[in-house]
Amino acid sequence: MNNLIFCVVVLAVVNALDNGLGRTPPMGWLSWERFRCNTDCLNDPDNCISEKLYMQMADHMEQDGYLAAGYEYVNIDDCWMAMERGSDGRLVADPKRFPHGIKFLADYVHSKGLKLGIYEDFGTHTCGGYPGSKFYMELDAQTFADWGIDSLKLDGCYSGIEDMKDGYPIMEFYLNKTGRPMLYSCSWPAYVVFSGTIPNYKSIANSCNIWRNYADIDDSWDSFKGIIDFYGNDNGSFSSFAGPGHFNDPDM
């Protein structure tokens, strides 16, 4: 199947957030490695971040056997939003690229027997410069629940590492408060690793279903080998904190 790159997640036991999700490593499709932050739907309509892209991928996952093999999440990454929040403070999908809104997209994905994941950032902005969740975490969590979102990837750009140990668990609290089960993917440890210190994986496993702890994967052997080496070194013994409900995520 052309242009599809699937995420797989890694393993091993501990008590984590009690949302009943991620009992086995979650599998699905994520847009970032292939489509990045391409928002030029006028000149590149087949490869831009849009509802059309995610609907097509949902179709492929259902029709081409991926859902039957266990790949159930269709995951939106960065650059799906409008550059400003709405007058009520809520996040808004870009109206040109997502003309029917995220609730419509979630309903479409669910109609295929799949689940929809979405992206936000713990900081003031996403890595692509769109509105972040800082100071809006409760509202954003409820917005995602209202839309029927099944998974949240929370990045860490435009934020301080010292704030993450408090901020990521706060978002966990607000996600659970909505009453809607949403798989929680944290980028928290990746930022700690790149600051040169060892993350507190016990705390991370208590708040996150899956967690990124290394760099984005790129379409190259060097990138792939770098991730293999990082996991082989297992600094901080992060493999020992993985198990049902909470897994290391080597990025797709």
Q: Are 241 and 198 in contact (CB under 8 A)?
A: no
| pTM recorded for the entire structure | 0.92
pLDDT of residue 204 exceeding 90: yes
Written as six digits, the tokens of 192 are 């700690």
pLDDT at 249: 96
Where exactly are the structural domains of the chain? 28-188+195-209
**b/e code 146-184 from CB counts within 10 Å (16+ = b):** ebbbbbbbbbbbebeeeebeebbbbbbebbbebebebbb
Q: Could you count the other beta carbons within 10 Å of the beta carbon of residue 46? A: 10
Domain 28-188+195-209 has CATH 3.20.20.70: yes
pLDDT digits 0-9 by tens, 30-41: 999 999 999 999
Please give the positions annotated as active site.
155, 216
Question: In which band, very low, low, confident or very high, does the pLDDT at 17 lie, cut at 50, 70 and 90?
Answer: confident
DSSP letter for each residue of 98-148:
STTHHHHHHHHHHHTT-EEEEEEESSSB-TTSSB--TT-HHHHHHHHHHHT
pLDDT digits 0-9 by tens, 119-135: 999 999 999 999 999 99
Amino acid, res. 240? S
pLDDT digits 0-9 by tens, 64-105: 999 999 999 999 999 999 999 999 999 999 999 999 999 999
Of 95, 180, 94, 186, which is closest to residue 133 (Cα–Cα)?
A: 186
Q: For tokens 């996150």, name the residue.
A: 208
Question: In which band, very low, low, confident or very high, does the pLDDT at 139 lie, cut at 50, 70 and 90?
Answer: very high
Q: Could you count the other beta carbons within 10 Å of the beta carbon of residue 238? A: 24
